[in-house]
Amino acid sequence: MTGSTRSNIERRILALRKALDHHNYCYYVLDAPEIPDSEYDRLFRELQELEQAHPDLITQDSPTQRVGASPVSEFGEIRHEIPMLSLDNAFSEDEVREFDRRVRERLEHEQAVDYAAEPKMDGLAISLRYENGLLVSAATRGDGTTGEDVTHNVRTVQSVPLRLVGSGYPALLEVRGEVYMSKADFDKLNAAAAKRGDKLFANPRNAAAGSLRQLDPRVTASRRLSFYAYGVGRVEPDTLPSRHSLILRQLREWGCPVSKYVRTVEGVEGCLAYHREMAQRRAELPYEIDGVVYKVDRLDQQRELGFVARAPRWALAHKFPAEEQMTRLRAVEFQVGRTGALTPVARLEPVFVGGVTVSNATLHNMDEVERKDIRVGDTVIVRRAGDVIPEVVGVVIAKRPAGAKRVHLPKTCPECGSEVIRPEGEAVARCTGGLFCSAQRKESLRHFASRRAMDIEGMGEKLVEELVDEKLLASPVDIYTLKSHAAELKQREGWGEKSVAKLLEAIETSKRTTLTRFLIALGIPNVGETTAADLAVHFGNLEALQVAASDYEKQRTALHRLSPGELEKRLAELELRQIPGIGPTVAEQLGAFFHQAGNRTVIDGLRNAGVHWPEMAPSAGRADGSLAGKTLVLTGTLAGMTRDEAKQRIQALGGKVTGSVSRKTDYVIAGSEPGSKLADAQKLGVTVLDEAGFERLLAG
């Protein structure tokens, strides 16, 4: 190789390292990447390839050299020349005021003191030693005087600079800060562990600690840790600024990430306002914080205040209410949800956590209970973060009493006594009681009356629950016979002539509906709004759908001897499966639903009670409908039909309804009190039809 090619390669390698360092800085410190990840990866690979071809040009601070050290059998020790201290804690505003009072008293300072206010990261403390700008070692806090040498692992943390950027840094600089794991990386880590059936980490801090204390740096590298600087240790020569906040700013300029929430505030009121603000933000932050830290900003004042025992007099951690607490599990009960799913619920010794008293927490499902090995009598860790429902994150095995009892899935439903089944390979156990089960009945009635289904105003969760308990409602059909119970309704607490009339009126109004809404209301598993609309348009009327569904069900059972592949081939030819978007699962659900006699009885009952919708010609092969390929826009109110009906009739004829007028719109249908769409149509020269014109269009 000629000297010039080699120096060209060397130059390219240096340029690539410089570029990668710069982009790392933009990404992790400035939080403002200049290039997409893919471009970063490309530069990285180019550097890797050049270094592979020229191993003698590899240096320790190359961005390719983060991982690569071989596993160690144990961690070495590193002595902290300047001890790593801890912080005094405060849990109330009064304690913070007390702290501030002591600070001002010692400083003989009447006015408000300047404080640096910072988030208190929930990870673990680390001390990074830079010599002439190069990262030479990293140590955990340990006992404050001696920590573990985790250099190889810390090198894998992308946001820790291997080399400081810029210039003017002291020959020796110890940067102190927190290594943590973001909530997103924690969730990913646990999701992957759950998939493998491995033990889960209880929280991001444990995950960060566990990841940093790995003997094999490759494991740490796979865990995605992050770093924020919050101070310095030994500095020589000490040319740093004379305020803590300015030191952090300087560290940032040298490439160390510093939280963007670091702020200087005035006096104790400034501190408390900051605490309140961060408490508000806590849930939305991408990482966990367990409080905020106040530090007297001026270093001369810090020196004057000094230390007591292991904590400085110039700093204070103002904690948030803990999001996790230990308590005893008294019992596990099972709740039946809308689909019959049984959810284990923990009944707990009441405990104050996340700012409220918690006595119940979800256990999600039996898989979770088994994986976490939760037993009645155990001491468990309860977590309540923000407004999220409380959950049991784990068991303190060391505190398990001798008599702790395993949790068993009940064989029968606690609500209705029907058999409970848990299909092979599924996490969820279900009650087989269907609408016989009052828990499921309540949920299906609530769904039936809901806005997107039959839209019965005033018939919410609470009323449904009460009417079921009072035995006034059992099936959706009963809703339409409620008027014969008007007298009983009027006697209900808080009810009177008017409220009953209003409810009965809403029920009456709901009778006139559309096939789509009716299908939604039936609550057929997997049949939501889109599928219901597809079915309504395709079949035009309920009978045709019922025929196709029962045909599907019959064929499926008749052909059960065929091989799965052959069976699927035959079923895919049936009408139900010809509808775009209807796959085997939905077809099967429809078949099963319409096959059940109970469901047919409910449907007949509803129709006999007067529930109706406009019948439409089936659009099987919409393409040949009279409105095929046409786009319509509706505006204003039609006297003869609702918006939904109009939409369905258009769709049944193969037309499309859109929300705004464009040159591509074929017709705008204007009812009374039309909106701005009418003007749009006139501007664009789109044909406008009134209701009579629309009726003629529908009639073909």
Distance of closest approach, residue 457 Cβ to ligand IVH, in angstroms: 52
φ, ψ dihedrals at 590, nearest 5°? -65, -45
Distance, in Å, from the CA atom of 87 to the CA atom of 294, rounded to the nearest integer, reads 10
Q: How far apart are CB 121 and ligand IVH at their closest, in Å?
A: 4
Find out whether 176 and 125 touch, Cβ atoms under 8 Å: yes
By beta-carbon proximity to ligand IVH, the closer residue of 51 and 148 is 148
Using CA atoms, how far apart are residues 77 and 458, in angstroms rounded to an integer? 69
Of the two residues 119 and 344, which places its CB atom closer to ligand IVH in the complex? 119
What are the start-end ranges of the H helices in 141-203? 151-154, 183-196
The sign of the dihedral angle between the CA atoms of 16, 17, 22, 24 is positive
Nearer to ligand IVH, 317 or 668 (CB): 317
Contacts (CB under 6 A) with ligand IVH, residues 124-153: 124-125, 141
| Cα 616 from Cα 236, distance rounded (Å) | 86
In the complex, minimum distance from the CB of residue 400 to ligand IVH, in angstroms, rounded to a whole number: 30
615 CA to centre of own chain: 42
State the minimum distance, in angstroms, from the CB of residue 253 to ligand IVH.
19
The total of other beta-carbon atoms located within 10 Å of residue 253's CB is 17
Q: Which residue is nearest to ligand IVH (CB)?
A: 125
- DSSP secondary structure letters along 191-253: HHHHHHTPPPPSSHHHHHHHHHT-SSHHHHHTT--EEEEEEEEEEES----SBHHHHHHHHHH
Helices 515-522 and 542-558: crossing angle in degrees, nearest 10, is: 40
Question: Do residues 489 and 466 touch, judged by C-beta distance below 8 A?
Answer: no
> Do residues 625 and 590 make contact, with C-beta atoms less than 8 angstroms apart?
no
231 touches ligand IVH by CB under 6 A: yes
Positions marked active-site: 120
Q: How far is the CB of 289 from ligand IVH (least distance, A)?
A: 8
Shortest distance, CB of residue 166 to ligand IVH, whole angstroms? Answer: 23
Q: Return the range that interacts with ligand IVH (CB under 6 A); candidates 120-128, 263-271, 279-287, 428-436.
A: 120-128
Residue 336 burial (10 A CB sphere; 0-12, 13-18, 19+): buried
Provide the minimum distance between the beta carbon of 177 and ligand IVH in the complex, in angstroms, as a whole number.
Answer: 8
Residue type, 215: L
Rounded to 5 degrees, what angle do the CA atoms 28, 30, 32 make?
A: 90
**DSSP per residue, 665-694:** --EEEE-BS--HHHHHHHHHT-EEE-HHHH
Question: Interface residues for ligand IVH in 328-387 (CB under 6 A)?
Answer: none
CB-nearer residue toward ligand IVH: 232 or 482: 232
Number of residues that bind ligand IVH (CB under 6 A): 16
Q: Is 593 in the site for ligand IVH (CB under 6 A)?
A: no
Residue in 21, 114, 178, 185 binding ligand IVH, rule: CB under 6 A: 178
Cα 352–Cα 356–Cα 359 angle in degrees, nearest 5: 65
Shortest Cβ 193–ligand IVH spacing (Å):
25
Identify which range of 121-129, 249-257, 518-526, 653-661 contacts ligand IVH by CB under 6 A.
121-129
CB of 315 or CB of 657, closer to ligand IVH:
315
- Residue 96 or residue 332: which is nearer to ligand IVH going by CB? 96
Which amino acid does the sequence have at 274? Y
Q: Please pick, from the candidates 21, 114, 118, 534, the single residue that binds ligand IVH as defined by CB under 6 A.
A: 118
Q: Which of residues 303-332 bind ligand IVH (CB under 6 A)?
A: 312, 315, 317
Which residues in 464-503 contact ligand IVH (CB under 6 A)?
Answer: none
Helix or strand or coil: residue 527? Answer: coil
Q: What's the token pair of residue 637?
A: 């109110």
Sole binder of ligand IVH in the list 29, 113, 121, 602 (CB under 6 A): 121
Output the furthest CA–CA distance in the chain (Å, rounded): 104
Near ligand IVH in 534-563, by CB under 6 A:
none
Scan residues 597-626 and list those touching ligand IVH (CB under 6 A): none
Strands 172-180 and 124-131, by their bridges, are antiparallel
Measured from the CB atom, the residue of 231 and 433 that comes closer to ligand IVH is 231
Convert 10-59 into a string of H (helix), E (strand) and C (coil).
Answer: HHHHHHHHHHHHHHHHHHHCCCCCCCCHHHHHHHHHHHHHHHHHCHHHCC
- Phi then psi dihedrals of residue 473, to 5 deg: -130, 135
Only one of the segments 115-123, 390-398, 413-421, 511-519 lies at the binding site for ligand IVH (rule: CB under 6 A); that segment is 115-123
Which residue, chain included where needed, has tokens 């109330």?
Answer: 92
90/332 with CB nearer ligand IVH: 90
Work out the angle at residue 338's Cα, subtended by the Cα atoms of residues 332 and 342, and round it to the nearest 5 degrees: 25
69-98 residues near ligand IVH, rule: CB under 6 A: 85-87
Among 17, 66, 80, 120, binds ligand IVH (CB under 6 A): 120
How far apart are CB 126 and ligand IVH at their closest, in Å? 8
- The span of 116-124, 270-278, 551-559, 681-689 binding ligand IVH (CB under 6 A) equals 116-124
Determine, following the binding rule CB under 6 A, whether residue 293 of this chain makes contact with ligand IVH. Answer: yes
DSSP notation for 58-104: --TTSGGGSS-PPP-SS--EEE-SS------EE-SHHHHHHHHHHHH
Cβ 83 to ligand IVH shortest distance, Å:
9
Between 244 and 649, name the residue whose CB sits nearer to ligand IVH: 244
Closer residue to ligand IVH in complex, CB, 312/693: 312
Query: For residues 231 and 523, which CB has a smaller minimum distance to ligand IVH in the complex?
Result: 231
230 counts as binding ligand IVH under rule CB under 6 A: yes
Per the listing, tokens 């014109």 go with: 693
| Shortest separation between residue 262's beta carbon and ligand IVH, angstroms | 8
Closer by beta carbon to ligand IVH, 96 or else 627: 96
- How far apart are CB 189 and ligand IVH at their closest, in Å? 21
Determine, following the binding rule CB under 6 A, whether residue 47 of this chain makes contact with ligand IVH: no
C-alpha 152/C-alpha 67 separation (Å) is: 8
Q: Copy the structure tokens of residue 77.
A: 């020790």
Which residues of this chain interact with ligand IVH, rule CB under 6 A?
A: 85-87, 118, 120-121, 124-125, 141, 178, 230-231, 293, 312, 315, 317
